[in-house]
Chain A
Amino acid sequence: GAVVSQHPSWVICKSGTSVKIECRSLDFQATTMFWYRQFPKQSLMLMATSNEGSKATYEQGVEKDKFLINHASLTLSTLTVTSAHPEDSSFYICSARVLTGEDGYTFGSGTRLTVV
């Protein structure tokens, strides 16, 4: 089936630095990708919708200047956490809609970000 490859799977960074997370659709074109974050023992919360070739749409309460999303091609979307702080430590997951096949939507394996 359709696969979204997400990297890195985990990352530790210092406060104030930036971290980039990549999501690639391996065998299909993803016009739209979704970015979620998950705090410990909580559900996934949609952060933003990433559209190829245009600006991302952010959910209410999500700082677009802090969470930079780029979707420059049909197979790659990136999320950059800028000037990271410990409260940004979370599990980030991307998702893409698959227009063929059974799944419909496929998720990346997630990135565990720890800011120290």
Chain B
Amino acid sequence: GDSVTQMEGPVTLSEEAFLTINCTYTATGYPSLFWYVQYPGEGLQLLLKATKADDKGSNKGFEATYRKETTSFHLEKGSVQVSDSAVYFCAPIYNFNKFYFGSGTKLNVKP
């Protein structure tokens, strides 16, 4: 069935390091792809999205490109900050508006 596989965490980086969090989805149909972020004690916030192949979503220095050929939507940031410490969820949405959330990747950024 429809699903998503996300890189396991936690990921620990020093400030200003480069970040990649891998995400691959099941290639049934053409889902829209989302990254959500959850800061400690809070709900989910939309980080970025892409709705079709080769689209690049970007926000707050984060980027992800919809790669149909590799069924991937990897999240990247060139220089992370301590304030980026959170849990990141990859979430494709297929028919009937149902999100399939990845397992979440916890990011710890050390000063």
Contacts and interface: CB of A to CB of B under 8 A. Distances in A.
Contacts of B93: 105
Nearest to A10: B41
B89 A34 contact: no
Contacts of A42: 103-104
Contacts of A32: 97
Categorize the interface residue count of chain B: 10 to 19
Interface residues of A, number: 21
A44 B101 contact: yes
Contacts of B49: 104
A94 to B, nearest CB: 9
B94 to A, nearest CB: 12
Contacts of B82: none
Contact of A34 (B34, B42, B98, B104): B98
A43 B32 contact: no
B43 interface: yes
B99 A93 contact: no
Contacts of A93: 43-44
B21 to A, nearest CB: 14
A6 interface: yes
Interface in B9-44: 32, 34, 36, 42-44
A52 B89 CA distance: 28
Contacts of B36: 107
Contacts of A97: 97
Tell me which of B44, B45, B96, B101 has the highest count of chain A C-beta atoms within 10 A of its own C-beta: B44
Contacts of A46: 98-99
Interface in A96-114: 97, 103-110
Interface of B: 32, 34, 36, 42-46, 49, 89, 93, 96-99, 101-104
